[in-house]
Structure 1
Amino acid sequence: MTRIGTFVGALLYHSSGKSFALVQQLTFLAVLAAPVVALTIDDPENASIPGVALGLGLMLATTTAVVLSPRQGLSRGLEWLVPVTSLVACGICRLATYPDGAVISTLSLVPSLWLVVRFRNKGAGVAVLMVILTITIPSLVLLPESMSVASFSRYTVLPVALALMSFAVIGILQHLEASTTQAERALESERSARTQLERTDRLLRGVLENLNVGVLVMDAHGNDLMTNRAQREIHALASPETNTDRTEAGHLAFHTDGTSIPAQNRPAARANRGEEFDNVQVLVGHPGPEQRVISVTARSVMAEDGSRDAAFLIFRDVTEEYNLLRAQHEIIATVSHEMRTPLTSIVGFTDFAEDSLQELPAMDAREDALEHLGVIRRNADKLSKLVEDLLLEQQAAVGRLTLTLEPVSVQELITHCVTGFQPMAERREITLALQLEPGAEILTDHLRISQVLDNLVGNALKYTQPGGSVTVSAAAPACGQGLTVHVTDDGPGMTQYEASQVFTPFYRAPSARVSATAGAGLGLALSQSIIEAHGGTITVRSVPGKGTRFTFTLHDESTRRALQARI
């Protein structure tokens, strides 16, 4: 039996021990004996004393049998004998006190239910049979009443009612047992799933805690949900115990050129705004030997309804790699600087040779020489531009990029760039649109930001197919004075990996390498260096087959702090 069936059976009769059975038997004895004795005392002439003695004697005998049974419970034979004997005793006591004791027949339902609950269909059959034998037949045969439909119905309704009640009780118990079995299976399945989840959670936390990269998980409101040991060590560098300002603004976080990163531009703040980025390098800790270079990557976790549910950041210590690259950059910067002198000589002597040839009489040899010199000049100019970009990017990488800040008209800055690229857009049959909000001035290096705009717009036009469109939009940022610029195209787009590498020097996507599009892979790396030197941020979002959007944001206050840090 299931738990509910066992409980109901114990409640009515059956129990795995004899204590509860004894209590039930004593209770039924008292309930039966009380009216029988009372009727006998009240009307001794109509009561059969021998019958009363026989009926109550049988009850005492069955009760004694329960008392003498083993402590662990009643035997199966005794489980049958006790309720059957109780039914016989109930029938005898009813006959002994009839007609006043006719109501005692209703007490036969109690031991009948004991049989039904304990033995189900067999118990129900025995219970109905015993009621017929002990109550119905004696009433019809022995009692001095004339037989009629009414009397017959009165004495046969009890077994019929008992049979119907037995079927109902059996159905209820079966339903309860089925429900209990199903509930137990569901509970067991839930326990198994919970155990598996706890094990998985324990394994994941163990793996997370022992990773050699820092992990920080934040909810949609920027509250920390999970960190690991490596992240706590990095955080201890950013906010040591001696640091008086324990807020995010007081953390020791710097750009690679040594300038402090404004609180709103730090990786955690950017991730909390929903930005995703890869390999953003940050200096953490007090300047000195203990300061570390940390590469930060951020991703958003979306809920089922499409809203941002959480964000996580990966912090990787790249100090050794950074130092090696810095040394490499120093060498490249030095070599690039040294290449300027011979290039200047080549260009200068080319100019001199062209001027000298122009003074000679016209002849085929002179024209051939001028054409050859033109090829030398064009290639020398390309090489000079490459060396200039390379030198500028390496200067930025080692923190030597100088800026000349001045108030610049946003409308003039962007309109001049877009106007300069209109002929190229028309030749390639690309729509170049400008969306510009009325704005004031921004504090920036006009030449360098123009270079960033030229790189972004030029790349968008180079990689967008004829018939496509490129849109340049600019507006004030959400917080503070400054500028946010979006350059959006509907070109071939990039994969997530390609987008994560576009700001790496000399990186070119596979599709760009196999195409006829020229480039050395320095423009975007240089653009990022220029923006970060201003204390700003630059990001990219791209979907293969749908296009790319580059966004950079400058804040006047961040630019001022970046300039002060360089002085």
Structure 2
Amino acid sequence: MGSIARVRADGRDRRLFVLLAQVPLLVVLGALIAILRLFEPAVLAEPAFIASVVLAVLTSAAALFTGERRPRFSWIALVPFSDILVIALAREGLHLTHGTIPALGALVIFPVLWLATELRVWSLPAVLVASGLLTGLPYVLRGTPPQDPIEWLNVVLVPTALGSVALAAGSVMRRMREDRSRADDLAVRLGDSLAEASDRELTLRSVTETVEAAIVLFGPAGDIVLCNSTARLLYGRAGADEKGHFSDPPLIFGEDRVTRIPLDGSLAASALRDDPMAGRTYWIGATGAQRAVTVTSRRVTRPDGGSLGTVVVGYDVTPLVESIEIRDVFLASVSHELKTPLTNIIGYLDLMEEGPAAAEIAVVRNNAARLMGLISDLLTGAGTTQDVHRVPEDLTAITEAAIAAVLLGAQSSGVGIRLSPGAKVVAEVDRDAIRRVLDNLLSNAVKYSAAGTHVVVAVGENGRSAVITVEDSGVGISPEHQGRVFDRFFRAPLARSQAIPGTGLGLAIVQALVEAHGGTVSVESQLGTGSVFTVLLPLRTLAVAV
């Protein structure tokens, strides 16, 4: 339908062009007839002049009936030939009585330009033939050739001049047609690109509305470019308007559900600052109706590095968080219930150790103590609050005591433990908590080391931090599992396949106690070579509780 409409529009434009091209000739011819009728009516009776008028009328009438569709070779190009013949006949009719009139000959420029634009490839030969007709027809009608060099020069120069005009006009029109063709092609490609972009946008919006996640695309200036319905719901829960603006402080809280995140520390601000957000959990909404949302973000850039904005994706993990909390509460409750009677049992066993069944009671007591340690691990691993009381302590002495406690068991397994020599290190720590950290790291190192190998422990300082490293030559940890070794209840497949005892809580407890001191614990490991666990503890700190 669009192409048909364009053809019809081109046809109407073409018909209008033909009619307008005839206007100068008709106006001049009409004015000439009026003047001759008043002053020289005899000229109107000249056969050549009469023929020019009749031919002009027929040519103009033919121009009124041009079709809308342009054929391969347009017959309408005969109209300018006819116009040149009209001019030649009119000039000859006037020449017979009044000589040559230059103004009438100047009209030939219009049909010449028409021929130059209409016939394209054949424009120059057509103009030469037409101009030759203009200058040669009088001699044909008179039956005599040019009589002097001036007349011959006129016959030759007029076609030459008009041919030059035709070449120039044809070149300009060809360039205009090429420009128009390129513009039309560009318009078509632009339309196709716009349609494709519209389809992509529709597809993108459909995808973002399909996934069960909140998706927001922030522009480089922080404006919201794309926001799906899930994100709009979360924004509304946080107190934002339809455009994502907050009139009051947003209802966005940290993991404790109480600490409000300031506006400059909110999701959008953090994302635009390139602040890593992977795995962060926020609580969004008013108290009693909060939802836990885990957020990730990524900068969107052009191939040249220019920023297109930042996409932020949030997942509602409220059911998962609530189930974890229920599990932790259950573990803590059960552990507390088990710990109280075990404490009484161990107390009574202490009183009975001197009786006749002392050996059997010692076995019972050791197993009860082991069960008490497991319950303590469950309590710590359940995520309950751990109080640490920091006072200046000799970390080197604590480490030596921890090594002495596990040395006998390590030697029975054929594993040696060595403390690297170094200066005394004093830091503000909770002695019992750090001792527990070392016990877990050392027992793990011994447990996963083969007979004949050594565990090397070092204590030192690095700036404002105390550094404790425990290095073993054991089985090592695969790269895909290193990021999970501090997760609660996680055990590597190798440990399960080799039936190495453990609950999967040891390293989680290490991390919890180290972080309670404001420190960090990390691991470097290579499968089949061994592992190095590094603990960093502040030498001085003002923080007191977890």
1:403 aligns with 2:387: yes
The corresponding residue for 1:187 is 187
Matched, 1:54 2:54: no
1:89-146 CA distance string (max 9 Å, x none)? 2123334348643575443232133234334345654443232133146469857642
Aligned to 1:363: none
Map of 1:118 onto structure 2: 118
- The alpha-carbon distance between structure 1 residues 161 and 212, as it changes in their structure 2 partners (threshold 3 A), is same
Q: Which residue of 2 aligns with 1:505?
A: 488
Instruction: Compute the displacement of 1:298 (Å).
Output: 0.8
Q: Give the secondary-structure state (helix, strand or coil) at the position aligned to 2:107.
A: helix
Cα 1:281–1:15, aligned 2, differ >3 Å: closer, same or farther? closer
**Equivalent residue, structure 2, for 1:299:** 297
Q: 1:388 aligns with which of 376, 393, 408?
A: 376
Q: What corresponds to 1:200 in structure 2?
A: 200
Contact 2:52 2:85 in 1 (8 A): no
Aligned in 2, Cα 1:229/1:54: closer, same or farther, shift over 3 Å?
same
Percent of matched pairs sharing the same residue? 22
For the residues of structure 2 that align with 1:428 and 1:104, how far apart are their CA atoms?
Answer: 120
The reply on whether 1:232 has 2:220 as its aligned counterpart is no
- Work out whether residues 300 and 312 of structure 1, in 8 Å CA contact, stay in contact via their aligned partners in 2: yes
Which residue does 2:18 correspond to in 1?
A: 21
Mapped contact 2:295–2:312 kept (Cα < 8 A): yes
Q: 2:319 maps to what in 1?
A: 320
Deviations 1:222-270 (A, max 9, x none): 55443332233333333389xxx957855252425x5425547765554
CA–CA distance in structure 1, aligned partners of residues 521 and 276 of structure 2: 8
**TM-score, with normalisation over the residues of structure 1?**
0.61
**CA distance in 2: counterparts of 1:31 and 1:136, whole angstroms:** 22
* Shift, 1:198, TM fit: 1.2
What is the CA-CA distance between 1:326 and the residue it aligns to? 2.6
Query: How many residues are treated as equivalent by the alignment?
Result: 504
Q: Aligned AA for 1:390?
A: L
Other-structure match for 2:81: 84
Once residues 186 and 126 of structure 1 are traced to their aligned partners in structure 2, the CA distance between those partners, rounded to angstroms, is 34
Contact 1:54 1:89 in 2 (8 A): no
Once the 2 structures are TM-superposed, how far is the Cα of residue 538 of structure 1 from its aligned partner?
Answer: 8.5
CA 1:29/1:333 → structure 2, altered by over 3 Å: closer, same or farther? same
Once residues 74 and 402 of structure 1 are traced to their aligned partners in structure 2, the CA distance between those partners, rounded to angstroms, is: 91
Q: Distance in 2 between matches of 1:306 and 1:458?
A: 49
**Counterpart position of 2:61:** 65
Aligned partner of 2:331 in structure 1 is 332
TM-superposition CA deviations, 1:411-459 (whole Å, max 9, x none): x999x99xx99xxxxx999x9x9xxxxxxx99x9897699889999999
Structure 2 stretches lacking a partner, 5+ long: 404-415, 449-453
Q: Given that residues 296 and 314 in structure 2 are in contact (C-alpha distance below 8 angstroms), is that contact kept between their aligned partners in structure 1?
A: no
After superposition, give the CA deviation of every residue in 1:7-28 in whole Å (9 maximum; x if it has no partner).
Answer: 9x99xxx955655533331222
1:96-111 superposed matches below 5 A: 96-97=94-95, 100-101=100-101, 104-111=104-111
Tell me the amino acid that sits aligned with residue 107 of structure 1: L
Q: Give the distance between the partners of 1:132 and 1:344, measured in 2 at CA.
A: 128
Task: Tell me the residue number matched to 1:359.
Answer: none
Query: Deviation at 1:189?
Result: 2.9
Determine helix, strand or coil for the equivalent of 1:507: coil
Return the alpha-carbon distance in structure 1 between the equivalents of residues 272 and 341 of structure 2: 50
Task: Indicate if the aligned counterparts of 2:521 and 2:536 stay in contact, CA closer than 8 A.
Answer: yes
Q: How far did 1:300 drift?
A: 1.5
Whole-angstrom distance in 1 between the partners of 2:532 and 2:221: 28
What is the aligned-residue RMSD (CA, Å)? 6.7
1:87 Cα deviation after fit: 0.6
Name the CA distance, whole Å, in 2 between partners of 1:40 and 1:296: 98
Q: By how many angstroms is 1:186 displaced?
A: 3.5
Structure 1 residue 388: deviation in Å?
A: 3.1
Q: Is the 8 A contact 1:271 1:311 kept in 2?
A: yes
Maintained 8 Å contact 2:216/2:231: yes
SS at match of 1:212: coil
* Contact residue 294 and residue 317 of structure 2 kept, 8 A: no
Residues 530 and 230 (structure 1 numbering): CA distance in 2 closer, same or farther, change over 3 Å?
farther
- Aligned residue for 1:365? none
Q: Supply the distance in 1 between the matched residues of 2:53 and 2:139 (Cα, whole angstroms).
A: 22
Q: Distance in 1 between matches of 2:202 and 2:522?
A: 36
CA contact (8 A) 1:401 1:533 kept: no
Q: Could you say if the C-alpha distance between residues 382 and 532 of structure 1 is closer, same or farther in structure 2, counting changes exceeding 3 Å? A: same
The 5 A counterparts of 1:162-177 are 162-166=162-166, 169-170=169-170, 172-177=172-177
Measured in 1, the distance between the counterparts of 2:327 and 2:12 equals 87
Aligned residue type for 2:296: A
Task: Report the Cα offset of residue 317 of structure 1.
Answer: 2.9
Equivalent residues of 2:297, 2:311 under 8 A apart: yes
Q: Report what 1:132 is aligned to.
A: 132
**Which string of whole-angstrom CA distances, capped at 9 and with x for unpartnered residues, describes residues 338-363 of structure 1?**
5657887999999999999xxxxxxx
**Distance in 2 of aligned mates of 1:544 and 1:31:** 101
What is the letter of the counterpart of residue 300 of structure 1? R
| Greater RCO, CA 8 A, separation 6+ | 1
Structure-2 change in CA distance of 1:77 and 1:291 (3 Å): closer
**Cα contact 2:240–2:250 (8 A) shared by 1:** no
Question: Residue 188 of structure 1 aligns to a residue in which SS?
Answer: helix
Residue type at the aligned position of 1:403: D
Q: 1:120 to 1:91 in 2, by over 3 A?
A: same
Cα pair 1:16 1:73 within 8 Å, conserved:
no
Structure 1 stretches lacking a partner, 5+ long: 357-368, 422-426, 434-440, 477-482
Secondary structure of 1:505's counterpart equals coil
